[in-house]
Amino acid sequence: MVNAIWLFMLVTGIIVAALNGRIEVVTESAMAAAELGVETAFGLIGVMSLWLGLMKLAEDAGFIKALARFFGPAIRRLFPTLREDSPALGAIIMNLSANVLGLGNAATPFGLKAMQELQKENPHPDTASPAMITFLALNTSCITLIPATIIAIRMKAQSVNPTEIIGPTIIATGCAMTLAITADYLIRRRSKS
């Protein structure tokens, strides 16, 4: 449905421009939008490279394992079916860390790795395990303390105050994560009885 609306708007814009003898405006706008898209993508590549590099250094230095040990008790409460030495814990921590930093694209590879590790421990491979469901809920609703990608986009768009979204982002994502964890807990508890 959304694609049909976009297509309708595009065709309507072209027709209106042609009827007004201003078809060159469509071409100029398309080229300007394509240029902006490439510039924005290159800007995001820089931000993502920085954070992915820092996270790789943290992983190689053993910081991620230390984080997994530190946050282990909280993570194990959320994932009671995981073994203490589960390799999924490190991937989950990396994914949540990237999400907390507002790097959704950087979080994706860690999320995929976490799901692969969770699947290895899944006693019923044809069905999502409770740990997989909890991880999906956390991954999609994770609190964001530093929305780095959004700040980078706002800086590229020359926002007067690109960081003004930090407070609202923390509140919105904090509420979403709290709700997701609560719903996951209540549904899992109800399904046991």
Domain boundaries, the chain: 1-45, 62-192
Distance of alpha carbon 105 from alpha carbon 22, whole angstroms: 39
pLDDT in tens, 110-142: 899 999 999 999 989 899 999 999 999 999 998
Q: What is the DSSP string of the chain?
A: -HHHHHHHHHHHHHHHHHHTT-HHHHHHHHHHHHHHHHHHHHHHHHHHHHHHHHHHHHHHTTHHHHHHHHHHHHHHHH-TTS-TT-HHHHHHHHHHHHHHTT-HHHHHHHHHHHHHHHHHT-SSTTS--HHHHHHHHHHHH---S--HHHHHHHHHTT-S-TTTTHHHHHHHHHHHHHHHHHHHHHHHHHHH-
* Residue 71 reports pLDDT greater than 90: no
Window from 64-73, 85-94, 127-136 with minimum mean pLDDT: 64-73
Average pLDDT, the chain: 85
User: Which of 161, 164, 133 lies closest to 147, judged by CA?
Assistant: 164
* Residue 103 reports pLDDT greater than 80: no
What does pTM read for this prediction? 0.69
pLDDT value, residue 35: 85
pLDDT value, residue 80: 85
